[in-house]
Structure 1
Amino acid sequence: MKNIAVIGAGITGITTAYALARRGYDVSVFDRNRYAAMETSFANGGQLSASNAEVWTRWGTIVKGLKWMLKSDAPLLVNPRPSWHKLSWMAEFMTNIPHYEANTIQTAKLAIEARSHLLEFAKEVGMEFDMEQRGILHVYKKQSEFDHARRVNTLLEKAGLDRREVSADEVQRLEPALRTKTLGGFYTESDFTGDIHQYTRALSTGCEKLGVKFHYKANVAKIHHTGKDIRIDWHSGAGDQQQHFDGIVVCAGVTSRSIAAELGDRVNIYPVKGYSITVNLDDVDSQAAAPWVSLLDDEAKIVTSRLGRRRFRIAGTAEFNGYNLDIRDDRIRPLREWCETFFPDVSTEHCVPWAGLRPMLPSMLPKVGPGSKPGVFYNTGHGHLGWTLSAATAQLVSDCVDAKRMQNAA
């Protein structure tokens, strides 16, 4: 097994291609866009956050979802229109509630491991991606949310994460730009932020230097397992093309479900839409008033990151509404109003809205490893922690490919 195809040029696809190429594999990447990182890896919240590793599989999430179902600006919004895909996903989601603690600990461990790989990749490529190593600060204004955060912290401690509770005064000292009262928070000094789009594009250039071949604007028509290898048929500007590969790694985000079905596997990913705004800090006053420490408001489900001197990213919300990328004003408005409440001296006149579909599995854990057929592997379903986990899962799936290669050689 030497010649590997990677489907998808988002953050998981590019980190997978890089991890495989640096181990000596001949890698080809397929993506329907013109460049890498043009979909869900384009404008996320920017956090690399082991501190946000709590999975959503608990009854509190169900209760909130039902309460907010008819509230268009709710942090979690579920379109009540039924579909078999949505219903089956939610049924499996509920069966994972007993695994909430174990899955949270496992996710946090994976996120901690991913940090070193991500920074190692960045150092090897020599990239800049507006990284800020100032930690992540969770803030709370409601006592029930703060109490729940204390319970979550016991799980994160079991995973080995150092996330310490801070008082309201300490919150203010950590981020002096904050202009709203809090009860306190939790601070994780080891977490950091950056621009996922810059990182992924730079790493794709690093992949090219290692010999990775990219097929952009490639509409994959069929993936056929021949019994001994995998044939990919695709269409591009050069016409219809076809190539055989020893193996394939599916990193295709929300389209991974349909690709897996074509390969005889069930990977029940649902697209959970998230929104962001990038606030352009065009004036000196806004630049001074915007925070440098990354924030996470658990109640509002909003995260922030400072992307250099002139950009401030605010992202969040979760919307279960199928494969829909419409940018709705009633979902963008709460992000803008949150900024105006927490940082009133930041001008929100020039905001760039964006929406992306997070590929989420009912367990809230990514699908990493082999499929049912020889040579088929998956690295997908990372949900809201795609960037946070990607460098670790890329190494894990590469380990699986290595193991299969050695097995075939034996």
Structure 2
Amino acid sequence: MTRIAVIGAGITGVTTASSLIDRGYDVSLFDRNRYAAMQTSFANGGQLSASNAETWNRWATVFKGMKWMLARGAPLLVNPKPSWHKYSWMAEFVASIPQYRANTVETTRLAIAARGLLKDTAARHGFDFDCESRGILHIYTNKKEFDHASRVNTLLAEGGLERRAVAPEEVRQIEPALTGAFYGGYYTESDFTGDIHRYTTGLAKAIEGAGAVLRFGTDVEAIRVNDQEVRITWSRNTESQTDVFDGIVVCAGVESRQIAADLGDRVNVYPVKGYSITVRLDDDQSQQAAPWISLLDDEAKIVTSRLGKDRFRIAGTAEFNGYNLDIRDDRIRPLIKWCERFFPGVSTEHAVPWAGLRPMMPNMMPRVGQGKRARVFYNTGHGHLGWTLSAATAEMVAETIAGSRVVNTAPRMVQPGLPLTPVKGAV
């Protein structure tokens, strides 16, 4: 049987392993952590949001980044300290501005396909992930942001998404818990939310039961690739060993860049830090005052998800500060203040902070497919949409492997209708 190694057990790695298992491959999943989803897939905003498929490659984003550079609590924060990786990445970001429209449309299409695949997989394996299929409501407090959302809506519609404008009165009807004055909103009924950590760990257990080997708590020390095989040397505690595979898929988040360089490829992901708080709804008043509808405040760059009866996730901001994982109070404080502004009845006494590094490509499109070497493949660089896109890109890379002339294909046991046509920008 064809053996495939998958590096990284976040949401993209586990969904990739699942798609390969579905096709009859012998899969080994490697991660340095003892459990799946312990890094960027641990506590994100929770949204499965085709309505948030707009790429960031606009001059407005560049100007906001420059304007907010010295504002420590700004939604977008850039550390001005010189870094070749950071500034060369930003140059490529600017160079990708002409592809903004096309990439937004393609991301929308990919997100729509991924949402259905993700739900189908959870139903097939029978695990719960606090899914709430109540839609996502974008809220706007001023005309400028609402008018931009109207222009974006044209692109989302071109990608196949139905999202409708709502008046201030309907904003409050959709989510009665919201307080404050609003100019308007946009509502996407087909979007939904869920706990990414619960989903990833649930799927990891399911694929282990289906035969996947989970090499968790291991350090991958060396990867050697030639025309005949892939050799991976890994260690756990003081023991080290080398295994031989027919192919490898790199799903290692922000570490994918270095692994790719070692394998002769350029995968220019940059670690864009995001923050979240998980507000514990420990009393009846907080549970009643917290929203069930998922929200996205485009101006503040903040998203929310209700994760069951007693958890409220608030996430957002983007910080360009290298591989730094420090949780800064001046970045967490705006999330708490936002909650207290729009949901004053929710107690924020028990708000658990978290930070994660999003692996982001300069053009905002994931790197999916084969590398320079025939046995090397990638599924990484999803940026702020890893949770949203992962189920679809997993199918894409699995199909690429199945069609490879070098990697011996295994018996195909995939369910009909799952393979996807590769997305133009996801290369």
TM-score interval (norm. to shorter): over 0.9
Alpha-carbon distance between aligned partners in 1 of 2:407 and 2:207, rounded to the nearest angstrom = 26
Match status 1:200 vs 2:200 = yes
Tell me the equivalent position of 2:84.
84
* Conservation of the 8 A alpha-carbon contact between 2:7 and 2:31: yes
Task: Tell me which stretches of 4 or more aligned residues in structure 1 moved more than 6 Å.
Answer: none
Query: CA offsets, 1:282-328, max 9 Å, x none?
Result: 01000000000000000000000000010000000000000010000
Match status 1:61 vs 2:61 = yes
Tell me the equivalent position of 1:8.
8
Match status 1:243 vs 2:243 = yes
Tell me the equivalent position of 2:333.
333
Alpha-carbon distance between aligned partners in 1 of 2:126 and 2:310, rounded to the nearest angstrom = 23
Alpha-carbon distance between aligned partners in 2 of 1:281 and 1:235, rounded to the nearest angstrom = 41
Alpha-carbon distance between aligned partners in 1 of 2:106 and 2:70, rounded to the nearest angstrom = 34
Alpha-carbon distance between aligned partners in 1 of 2:77 and 2:55, rounded to the nearest angstrom = 17
* Conservation of the 8 A alpha-carbon contact between 1:56 and 1:364: yes
Alpha-carbon distance between aligned partners in 1 of 2:329 and 2:72, rounded to the nearest angstrom = 10
SS at match of 2:403: helix
Tell me the equivalent position of 1:136.
136
Q: Which amino acid aligns with 2:105?
A: I
Match status 1:375 vs 2:375 = yes
Tell me the equivalent position of 1:278.
278
Tell me the equivalent position of 2:35.
35
1:209-224 pair list within 5 angstroms: 209-224=209-224
Query: CA offsets, 1:166-187, max 9 Å, x none?
Result: 0000000000000111101000
When normalised by structure 2's length, the TM-score is: 0.95
Q: Which amino acid aligns with 1:182?
A: F
Query: CA offsets, 1:140-164, max 9 Å, x none?
Result: 0021111100000000000010000
* Conservation of the 8 A alpha-carbon contact between 2:246 and 2:408: no
Q: CA deviation at 1:75?
A: 0.1
Q: Which amino acid aligns with 1:17?
A: A
Query: CA offsets, 1:76-98, max 9 Å, x none?
Result: 00000011100110010011000
Alpha-carbon distance between aligned partners in 1 of 2:84 and 2:285, rounded to the nearest angstrom = 50
Q: CA deviation at 1:210?
A: 1.1
Q: CA deviation at 1:115?
A: 1.1
Query: CA offsets, 1:52-100, max 9 Å, x none?
Result: 0000001000000000000000000000001110011001001100000
Alpha-carbon distance between aligned partners in 2 of 1:238 and 1:26, rounded to the nearest angstrom = 26
Tell me the equivalent position of 2:416.
none
Alpha-carbon distance between aligned partners in 2 of 1:407 and 1:401, rounded to the nearest angstrom = 7
Q: Which amino acid aligns with 1:63?
A: F
Alpha-carbon distance between aligned partners in 1 of 2:369 and 2:67, rounded to the nearest angstrom = 37
**Which range moved further: 371-380 or 400-409?**
400-409
Q: CA deviation at 1:227?
A: 2.9
**Consecutive unaligned residues in structure 1, runs of 5 or more:** none
* Conservation of the 8 A alpha-carbon contact between 2:246 and 2:407: no
Alpha-carbon distance between aligned partners in 1 of 2:162 and 2:62, rounded to the nearest angstrom = 29
* Conservation of the 8 A alpha-carbon contact between 1:273 and 1:321: yes
Structure 1 vs Structure 2 CA RMSD: 1.0
1:320-359 pair list within 5 angstroms: 320-359=320-359
CA 1:228–1:406 in structure 2 vs 1: closer, same or farther (change >3 Å)? Answer: closer
What is the percent sequence identity of the aligned residues? 66
* Conservation of the 8 A alpha-carbon contact between 2:401 and 2:407: no
Tell me the equivalent position of 2:413.
none
Match status 1:123 vs 2:102 = no
Alpha-carbon distance between aligned partners in 1 of 2:190 and 2:94, rounded to the nearest angstrom = 32
Query: CA offsets, 1:245-289, max 9 Å, x none?
Result: 100000000000000001000000000000000000001000000
* Conservation of the 8 A alpha-carbon contact between 1:51 and 1:161: yes
* Conservation of the 8 A alpha-carbon contact between 1:22 and 1:210: no
Q: CA deviation at 1:237?
A: 2.5
* Conservation of the 8 A alpha-carbon contact between 2:247 and 2:407: no
Alpha-carbon distance between aligned partners in 2 of 1:111 and 1:2, rounded to the nearest angstrom = 30
- Number of aligned pairs? 409
Alpha-carbon distance between aligned partners in 2 of 1:408 and 1:9, rounded to the nearest angstrom = 24
Tell me the equivalent position of 1:109.
109
Alpha-carbon distance between aligned partners in 1 of 2:405 and 2:47, rounded to the nearest angstrom = 35
**Consecutive unaligned residues in structure 2, runs of 5 or more:** 410-427
Q: CA deviation at 1:226?
A: 2.6
